[in-house]
Structure 1
């Protein structure tokens, strides 16, 4: 199933900010819609009033069995009523990352950066879903989606800061941080 994040004039999420972390940003739009479909429709003509990012929620990668069990046990689902805050963080990694074997990427992802182990303490307060988009020809490799209650906003900032300080993030060449609040 394809998930489309569309920044535009309408949507179920109000955009609070669009900030470049590394590289080129995305245009600031007032709203974001999130849709799920079995197919991808052809893109509309280029417009200054919207942008569109598409990804696929795939099987979990770079995890070992015990890590997957721990993630499944701790992870909260998306769409919880109290989770009225969200962040969309699209990321593109550099060619050095993709030239490595999967085992080499795993070593950096978990053995050195402790991406999974250190992130577990933020679950279930922060729900997350990773969408793969590298093979779909978009401008990003991953679209990371987070949802959390306003009471957990500080914890979310801690999580993002921790991830950005890891060795894995040295391979990020483009990252945009889109902050949102659910439209009631």
Structure 2
């Protein structure tokens, strides 16, 4: 994958940038080094305080009906009113990756209702999932989830995260960092 691929995203903790870090909490596992700003884009902006990367890919755990509903309800990123964002890097346990695709789907939606929970918060909260595991074994996270929303939707975003983190799926998370941002 070339550095200019429209599917390859770079997240650089930096000293300057369009997104100001307002809060950073390591919920499980090691934190990221503190950085005052974040730069997000398809070009690698290193050096910085830290660098994460991921690629967008096909949806791996949704049914056709779920995908149709997600596409119909979700609005795009970059909305003028979305002056708040969150980057949530997550690494799942070896036990998660030992499950087959259908077993992971069962945990994700059958037991945890991950997609159904997310649908309740659309279109106010927009999101894009980036896969890191596909880039190689040296990536510190499996997924980077990018969310954007307006200031008035921050309580709803907190509710969304609380519901997801209370689900059986989150027993398979061994590293999670929650970065909150303002533009």
Q: Shorter-chain TM-score: what band?
A: over 0.9
Name the CA distance, whole Å, in 2 between partners of 1:127 and 1:50.
Answer: 26
Moved over 2 A (4+): none
Which range moves more in the overlay, 168-177 or 111-120? 111-120
Shift of residue 35, structure 1, vs aligned partner: 1.1
Whole-angstrom distance in 1 between the partners of 2:141 and 2:171: 16
Shift of 1:8: 1.0
Give the count of matched residue pairs.
175
Task: Provide TM-score, normalisation by structure 1.
Answer: 0.92
Whole-angstrom CA distance in 2 between matches of 1:64 and 1:176: 28
Which ranges of structure 2 fall in alignment gaps of 5 or more residues? 1-6
TM-score of the superposed pair, with normalisation by structure 2:
0.92
Structure 1 contact 14–180 (Cα < 8 Å) conserved: yes
Shift of 1:36: 1.1
Q: CA deviation at 1:138?
A: 1.0
Root-mean-square deviation (CA), in Å?
1.3
Contact 1:83 1:147 (8 Å CA) reproduced: yes
Question: 3-state DSSP class of the match of 2:120?
Answer: helix
CA deviation after TM superposition for structure 1 residue 135, in Å: 2.2
- Structure 1 partner of 2:39: 33
Map 1:18-97; keep pairs closer than 5 Å.
Answer: 18-37=24-43, 44=47, 50-97=49-96
Structure 1 stretches of 5 or more lacking a match?
A: none
Counterparts of 2:120 and 2:90, CA distance in 1 = 23
